[in-house]
């Protein structure tokens, strides 16, 4: 008993609580709610981690696609320079549209808003025909098309990377809450509940001991006066009923 009491006092008990049955009931309700919240947050964190690794696989694929696309685009550009010359390529590049439009939307993954990006450059007719076909080569057409595909993959890579960053941030925040409930809040509630239960049990034992002493004194007094001639008073009857029968024997 002493070891349990020392262990209980060494744990952190919530300050300001009173050792009453109403307080005990309220703490048990809080403990159950905290446990349900912990379980829900744990399920959310597991689902977020699952989505994170799924998107991480896409990230590796898209990054590899970007690397290959850029290699093909620069190779095509080198071939176009060999045909048209660097000065002609520079002249055409200066006449190209300077603004690349990107459509930005969002979607929800387990309550986390992640970006949805789409590369729009090259979809308009004037963007496709910003140079003359007469004095250029098909190699230039191939280079421009490959760069547009590479840009589309780069935007896709930015979308996936943005989703990973936001999911990782949400996973970290959810894990912090789960750990706070699991290692701080719930243990403190359990410790406080055990503390109040121990206090109530101690109070019951003290009350029981006092009743026994009162009964013994009253019975001793009754014997002195002669139990065969004196009836039990209402006070002695009440104390006798409060003490269990096994204590009377």
Give how far Cα 85 sits from Cα of 78, 135, 146, Å.
9, 12, 19
Q: What are phi and psi of 230, to 5 degrees?
A: -115, 130
How far apart CA 166 and CA 169 sit, in angstroms, is 5
pTM of the model: 0.70
Say which range, 1-5, 57-61, 147-151, 159-163, has the weakest mean pLDDT: 1-5
Query: pLDDT tens digit string along 18-34?
Result: 888 888 899 999 999 99
pLDDT at 56: 93
Q: Which of 91-95, 111-115, 219-223 has the lowest mean pLDDT?
A: 219-223
Task: Tell me the pLDDT band of 64, cut-offs 50, 70 and 90.
Answer: very high
Model confidence at 120, in pLDDT bands (50, 70, 90)?
confident
Range 21-188 has CATH code 2.40.50.140? no
Q: Where are the domains of the chain?
A: 2-19+196-240, 21-188
Query: Higher model confidence: residue 192 or residue 218?
Result: 192
- Bridge-based pairing of strands 112-119 and 102-109 is antiparallel
């Amino acid at each position: 008993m002493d070891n349990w009491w020392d262990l209980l006092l060494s744990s952190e008990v919530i300050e300001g609580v009173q050792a009453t049955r109403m307080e005990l009931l309220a703490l048990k309700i809080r403990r159950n709610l905290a446990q349900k919240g912990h379980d829900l947050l744990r399920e959310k964190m597991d689902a977020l981690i699952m989505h994170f690794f799924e998107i991480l696989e896409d990230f590796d694929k898209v990054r590899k696609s970007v690397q290959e696309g850029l290699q093909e685009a620069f190779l095509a550009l080198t071939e176009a320079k060999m045909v048209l010359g660097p000065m002609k390529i520079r002249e055409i590049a200066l006449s190209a549209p300077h603004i690349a439009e990107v459509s930005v939307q969002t979607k929800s993954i387990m309550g986390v808003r992640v970006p949805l990006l789409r590369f729009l450059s090259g979809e308009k007719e004037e963007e496709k025909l910003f140079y003359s076909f007469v004095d250029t080569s098909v190699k230039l057409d191939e280079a421009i098309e490959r760069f547009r595909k590479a840009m589309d993959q780069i935007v896709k890579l930015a979308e996936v990377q943005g989703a990973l960053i936001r999911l990782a941030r949400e996973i970290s925040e959810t894990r912090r809450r789960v750990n706070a409930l699991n290692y701080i809040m719930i243990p403190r509630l359990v410790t406080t509940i055990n503390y109040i239960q121990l206090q109530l049990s101690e109070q019951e034992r003290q009350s029981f001991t006092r009743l026994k002493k009162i009964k013994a004194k009253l019975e001793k007094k009754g014997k002195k006066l002669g139990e065969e001639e004196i009836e039990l008073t209402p006070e002695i009857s009440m104390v006798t009923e409060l003490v269990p029968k096994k204590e009377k024997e």
